[in-house]
Every structure is written in C-alpha cells, then in structure tokens.
Amino acid sequence: MHRKKLPIGIQTFSKIREDNHYYIDKTPMAYQLAMQGSHYFLSRPRRFGKSLFLDTLAELWAGNEALFQGLWIHDKWDWSRSYPVIRISFGGGVMMNVETQLPNKIAEQMRINAERLGLEVERGEAETYFANLIRAAEAKTGQKVVVLIDEYDKPILDNITDPELAKAMRDRLRNLYSVIKDL
C-alpha cells in the first residue's frame, strides 16, 4: 500500500496534487469566494496556508482543470474559461529603502507577470506599470484579470521598528494597491 506524503513546507498546489500529497480540499471556500464577491482580504497567522490557498486560487482561475480532478469544485467550475492571473509577492528579501528597493521589487514582480502572460507592457512608475499590465492582460484575453497579492504588508513589517520608514512603505504600497480598486 502506497501512503500519501505530508506536504510539509510545500506552497504550490500543483506540487501537492501532482506528487499525491495529502490535501485538505479547500475548493468549496474558493468557489464561494469566486461566486460571492470580487475583493477579499485574507488574514491568518503565519504558516497558516495563505500562500498555498492563493496558489490554489491562481490555478483555479487559470483553468488548470487536471489539478482539480476528484476535488469538490471539479464538476461545478466552468473549465471552458480561463482568466489571466497576476501574482505579486513581497515575501522574498527585506526591503529597507522605499526609493529604490521597493520600486525595484514591484518592477520585478510586474516583469515576471508580463513574461509569464506573454505580454509587452509599457513600463513606468510602479502604479503605471501595474495598471498597464492589468489593461494589457485584459486586452489580450478579453477576460477580467485576477490579482493575487501575497505578503502584501511585508515591506511595512520589515521596517516596523522605524515608524517613518514603515509609514513611507505603507503609503507607497497604498498607491500601488489603489490601482486594483480603480481597475
């Protein structure tokens, strides 16, 4: 008898499913979120599965049906449609400079998403680059864009002992996140 493995430290839904790890099916909650609203803030303690859940949502919206075989959502989701997914994560590294490190991290995240989605996007200030990426993804696919942000507050928390810098990080991130509301 082949026993399933525990997915310790694994944050990608595809690896858990493809390598036959134990998985607690959270697709009923994903379906509920998809059907009942458009903007969500998920708050849970560290190491509570937020990154894995965001990855699950990304795979769902991208229409990767094979990963959802045998799960609750499989026969309820419209697999004929897929959506462009923009994923942003501030989890890697420590940002101590709001003028260079944060804008460079944002630009890197936009570039990675543009490349993954096969888009040529006009760059600019972080907010402009982000807006251009969303518009280009929607124009290319004709579908609304799904934006998933992981570790959204890490640049602030990295600088929590320096209130001025933490506030500057918060203000810069607020400007970036306002793009989502506007689009």
DSSP 6-23: P-TT---HHHHHHTTB--
pLDDT (tens digit per residue) in 83-92: 999 999 998 8
Give the residue from 109, 107, 103 showing the smallest Cα distance to 91: 109
pLDDT (tens digit per residue) in 28-50: 999 999 999 777 777 665 656 68
C-alpha angle 44-92-134 in degrees, rounded to nearest 5: 80
Tell me the average pLDDT across 151-167: 94
pLDDT (tens digit per residue) in 99-135: 999 999 999 999 999 999 999 999 888 899 999 999 9
CB atoms within 10 A of CB 162: 12
pLDDT at 38: 79
pLDDT at 41: 74
Distances (CA, A) of 174 to 5, 44, 82, 180: 40, 21, 29, 10
Residue 1 pLDDT > 70, yes or no?
A: no
pLDDT band at 2 (very low <50, low <70, confident <90, very high): low
Q: Tell me how far apart the alpha carbons of residues 36 and 178 are, in angstroms, rounded to a whole number.
A: 22
Cβ-Cβ contacts under 8 Å for 136 (sequence gap 6 or more): 114, 117, 119, 120, 121
Tell me the average pLDDT across 2-7: 79
pLDDT at 181: 87
Q: Where are the domains of the chain?
A: 1-82, 84-183
Q: Which amino acid appears at position 40 of this protein?
A: Y
Residue 174 pLDDT > 60, yes or no?
A: yes
For the chain, give the number of residues.
Answer: 183
pLDDT at 80: 96
Q: Residue 48, CB half-sphere, CA atoms under 13 Å: how many? A: 8
pLDDT at 150: 92
C-alpha angle 72-75-76 in degrees, rounded to nearest 5: 80
pLDDT at 47: 56
Tokens of 45: 């303690």
Alpha-carbon 11 to chain mean position: 12
Query: Percent of the chain at pLDDT above 90?
Result: 73
